[in-house]
Amino acid sequence: MKVYGMGWVGSRTSNFEQMREFVADKLGLTMTVDQKNAVVFSFADGTAFEVFKPVDTDHSFFDHPVPGLIVDDVYEVRAELEDRGVDFIGEVHKGVEDSWGTAWSHFRAPDGNIYALISRPAMHPTNTARRFDEMRICLKVNNLDEAVRVYRDGLGMPIVDEWVHPGGQRGVLFGVAPAALELFDESQWDFVDDAETGVRLNADHALRMEVCDHSVIEDLARRLEDAGATRAGTITDTPWEQRCLQLMTAETGQLTLFTLPESERVVREQARARLPF
């Protein structure tokens, strides 16, 4: 049994419209699912906050916010917990097309409160199922310590594993979440170089780090320079409405910091919020 964390909170309220307005306008959360009797808001990390109308009879057994524990398989974990004496309420519920989770089941804990097991969607919003658990991008470097300074000290990425083999071979694994894979054809690659620096660097790979605004670009660039990176140009506004700054690292090459236009940033945040673990 593996519990990934608390990734969902549900609240059933007679003040549904006021609560919906409060979460959207005052807390500023993004609505990702609008159902007949409930609405789901998402945080940038994928955590969901679901508000139910009082007419939602499926959740009439609780009158307080209910946290949901994320698991791979609700049926399997429920069976294991029942063997350990945990009392569940009703049957396992299966989600429909617009449900946030694929399955969920409620139980009462020793504190007297109700909790839920939740299986997150297996599908990305584009309706494609991921067939692997983790993607690793491997970069060969000549000076591992210098490269580590860029990613650990400059970008603040956590080291989750590092090793030295008996023959002296070394490696470091960084945790990266969220991440995306971007593919360019040759003309697009040249187009990006021309727009961002006016110089074609003739590289075949680059790392691009999305940040929230211009001030973060400046702050992060200074940290990267302290870690050994150098600027390849100045902050530039591109034809596709991104603000970009290219840097070069001695070991892993081109690294671009960029911001998205607000409309595109909202779309990307919504997509990231629906990604499966």
Q: Quick: pLDDT tens for 54-65.
A: 888 777 788 789
Provide the mean pLDDT of the chain.
Answer: 87
Match 């210098």 to its residue by tokens: 146
**Is there a shared CATH topology between the 3-119 domain and the 144-273 domain?**
yes
162 Cβ neighbours under 8 A, 6+ residues apart: 170, 171, 172, 173
**The pLDDT of residue 129 is above 80:** no
Q: Is the predicted pLDDT of residue 18 greater than 60, yes or no?
A: yes
Strand-pairing partners, residue 170, are: 164
207 touches 255 (CB < 8 A): yes
pLDDT category at 88 given cuts 50, 70, 90 is: very high
What element of type H or E holds 106?
strand 103-108
Asked whether the beta carbons of 267 and 250 are under 8 A apart, the reply is no
**Least confident interval from 136-140, 188-192, 235-239:** 136-140
Which strand (E) or helix (H) includes residue 116?
strand 114-119
Per the CATH hierarchy, to which homologous superfamily does domain 3-119 belong?
2,3-Dihydroxybiphenyl 1,2-Dioxygenase, domain 1 (3.10.180.10)
182-206 tens-digit pLDDT:
989 999 999 998 998 888 877 888 8
Each residue's pLDDT tens digit, 23-44? 999 999 888 888 888 999 987 6
Q: Which residue has the higher pLDDT, 100 or 85?
A: 85
Which helix (H) or strand (E) segment holds residue 184: the answer is none
- % of the chain exceeding 90 in pLDDT: 52
d(C-alpha 29, C-alpha 23), whole Å = 6
178 upstream amide cis, omega within 30 of 0: yes
The predicted pLDDT at position 204 comes to: 82
Q: Classify each residue of 71-97 as buried b or exposed e, where b means 16 or more C-beta atoms within 10 Å of its C-beta.
A: beebeebbeebeeeeeebeeeebeeee
- Strands 48-52 and 3-12, how do they pair? parallel
Does domain 144-273 fall under CATH 3.10.180.10? My reply is yes
Main-chain dihedrals φ then ψ at residue 52, nearest 5 degrees: -105, 145
In which band, very low, low, confident or very high, does the pLDDT at 128 lie, cut at 50, 70 and 90?
Answer: low
Is the CB of residue 31 less than 8 Å from the CB of residue 22? no
Output the pTM of the full model: 0.65
H or E element that contains 155: none
Indicate the domain borders of the chain: 3-119, 144-273
